[in-house]
């Protein structure tokens, strides 16, 4: 059994920011009510709610029935939901037809609407190889994002995509930028995930400058880049990788970014018993940059 913090224990911040949140993915090994309680103990008021296959099941994949449990647990926690980070299917897969996509996405949109959150979706399948060609796969992702945007907008939900993901089809700077060329702002915004950008070998500062005008949400975790001798590592605690968070925040803020930053600490370098105090350190580091 994973050790649990004492109920009501607080890890108070010396510095806080209303723009800094925490994803439940940070505590993916805990059941949802426990994850929410731990985030609350950090003095953080906003969350991303995670539901990604193989990563976090706080929102099941697929979500067949929202079941009052998920929304009720989040609303009862008093935490504000900023993003619903979920996967309605591999958006570049020709086998994912329109009706199937809508059927899978509808309960996710309904949950996002009830919680008043963004709908965050990945940028294709968990493979870098195209189903057909790179060009056709990018076009298919763009077309399916348009389907999701139409569905979301009818419920007052804003769609955003994590458009550069080290383990998804859009794994590189080139593919991420090509996708943005195909997806206008009115269809979807961009989620900038620092760890995936760094792991891809992309200069995270230069890339932030390029995409700042499309960025609507930021995920924070440290990483080291992919090299000829091995894959990148996206699962490092803040300060233990290569990311320059101070310059990143300075760059985004200098380009007019006024959105939120979310700790998504799905890290593999921390014992579970130490996860909360390490998250508190990350909170203080990033909140200090935002103050």
Whether residue 8 has pLDDT greater than 50: no
Whether residue 189 has pLDDT greater than 70: yes
* 64 pLDDT tier (thresholds 50, 70, 90): confident
Find residue 122's DSSP bridge partners.
Answer: 162
Q: Report percent pLDDT > 70 for the chain.
A: 93
Distance spanning both ends of the chain, measured CA to CA: 38
Q: How much is the CA Rg of the chain, to the nearest whole Å?
A: 18
Collapse the DSSP code of 33 into the 3-class scheme (helix H, G, I; strand E, B; otherwise coil) and give the result. helix
Contacts of 245 (CB under 8 A, 6+ apart): 194, 220, 238, 285, 286, 289
Whether residue 274 has pLDDT greater than 80: yes
Q: How far apart are CA 118 and CA 60, in angstroms?
A: 17
23-218+243-262 maps to CATH 3.40.50.11260: no
Q: What is the pLDDT of residue 67?
A: 60
pTM: 0.94
Whether residue 16 has pLDDT greater than 60: yes
Whether residue 42 has pLDDT greater than 90: yes
Q: What is the pLDDT of residue 54?
A: 92
Q: Report percent pLDDT > 90 for the chain.
A: 90
Whether residue 6 has pLDDT greater than 80: no
- Supply 223's token pair: 């990483």
Q: How far apart are CA 166 and CA 177, in angstroms?
A: 14
More confident residue, 230 or 211: 211
Q: How far apart are CA 222 and CA 242, in angstroms?
A: 7
Torsions phi, psi of 193, nearest 5? -105, 110
Q: What is the pLDDT of residue 7?
A: 39
More confident residue, 1 or 193: 193
Average pLDDT over the chain, rounded to an integer:
94
Q: Which of 178, 77, 186 minimizes the C-alpha distance to 130?
A: 178
């Amino acid at each position: 059994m994973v050790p649990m913090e004492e109920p009501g224990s607080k890890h108070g911040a010396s510095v806080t920011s209303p723009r800094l949140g925490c994803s439940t993915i940070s505590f993916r090994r805990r059941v949802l009510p426990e994850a929410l309680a731990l985030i609350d103990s950090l003095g953080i008021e906003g969350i991303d709610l995670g539901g990604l296959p193989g990563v976090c099941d706080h929102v099941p994949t697929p979500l067949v029935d929202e079941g009052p449990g998920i929304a009720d647990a989040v609303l009862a926690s008093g935490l504000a939901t900023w993003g619903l980070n979920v996967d309605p299917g591999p958006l570049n897969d020709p086998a994912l037809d329109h009706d199937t996509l809508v059927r899978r996405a509808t309960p996710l949109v309904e949950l996002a609407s009830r919680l008043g959150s963004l709908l965050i979706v990945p940028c294709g399948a968990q493979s870098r190889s195209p189903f057909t060609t790179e060009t056709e796969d990018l076009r298919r992702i763009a077309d399916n994002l348009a389907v999701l945007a139409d569905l979301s907008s009818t419920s007052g939900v804003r769609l955003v995509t994590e458009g550069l993901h080290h383990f998804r089809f859009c794994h590189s700077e080139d593919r991420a930028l090509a996708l943005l060329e195909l997806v206008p702002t009115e269809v979807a915004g961009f989620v900038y995930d620092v760890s995936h950008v760094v792991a891809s070998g992309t200069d995270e500062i230069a890339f932030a400058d390029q995409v700042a005008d499309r960025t609507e949400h930021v995920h924070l975790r440290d990483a080291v880049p992919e090299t000829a001798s091995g894959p990148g590592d996206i699962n490092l605690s803040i300060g233990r990788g290569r990311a320059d968070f101070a310059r990143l925040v300075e760059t985004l803020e200098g380009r007019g970014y006024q959105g939120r930053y979310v700790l998504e600490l799905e890290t593999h370098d921390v014992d579970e018993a130490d996860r909360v105090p390490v998250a508190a350190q990350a909170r203080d580091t990033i909140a200090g940059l935002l103050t």
